Amino acid sequence: MLAMLQVHAYYEFSPVTAFLSVNYFDRFLSRCSLPQQSGGWAFQLLSVACLSLAAKMEESHVPFLLDLQLFEPKFVFEPKTIQRMELWVMSNLKWRLRSVTPFDYLHYFISKLPSSSSSQSLNHFFS
């Protein structure tokens, strides 16, 4: 999970991408279980697949699968393997990758704020 966010930061992906990848990760695990005694490779494979899917949903430039595995010397997965994992994740999520996130509401709420001294009220709103 941490590795996922490190890679996310390295490529300067948007916050929505981070949110989505964690969302896919959670939703997948709530439907299936992964082998526990594997030394963690299964979870790492899952996190790479989730990050890759989220990036493809949100970003305009998406690095290759090998380049998504920057800080993970322990296991490096072949693109073919990740692609199969992506498919497994997507079919488990029933192809519902467009999760509703708080970001979808943000602009609506901002538009509801009083227009004058908007930055002040924003600070107030988020404090």
Partner 1 sequence: MAMAAPGQLNVNESPSWGSRSVDCFEKLEQIGEGTYGQVYMAREIKTGEIVALKKIRMDNEREGFPITAIREIKILKKLHHENVINLKEIVTSPDGNKYKGGIYMVFEYMDHDLTGLADRPGMRFTVPQIKLLTGLHYCHVNQVLHRDIKGVLLLMPSKDTCSNLLIDNEGNLKLADFGLARSFSNEHNANLTNRVITLWYRPPELLLGTTRYGPAVDMWSVGCIFAELLHGKPIFPGKDEPEQLNKIFELCGAPDEVNWPGVSKTPWYNQFKPTRPMKRRLREVFRHFDRHALELLEKMLTLDPAQKGQDKLWICTCCLCRFFLVGNMSRSNLQANTATLAGICIFHNSLKHSIWLPSADSSHIILYAL
Rounded to the nearest whole angstrom, what is the least distance from the CB of residue 30 to partner 1 in the complex?
17
Query: Where does this chain bind partner 1 (CB under 8 A)?
Result: 49, 52-53, 56-57, 60, 62, 64-66, 79-80, 82-88, 90-91, 94-98
- Residues contacting 102, CB < 8 A, separation 6+: 19
Residue type, position 107, single letter = H
The residues near 38 (Cβ < 8 Å, ≥ 6 apart) are none
Going by C-beta distance under 8 Å and a sequence separation of 6 or more, which residues neighbour residue 81?
Answer: 45
Least distance from partner 1 to the Cβ atom of residue 125, Å? 19
Based on CB atoms, which residue is closest to partner 1, 56 or 124? 56
Q: Which is nearer to partner 1, 115 or 127 (CB)?
A: 115
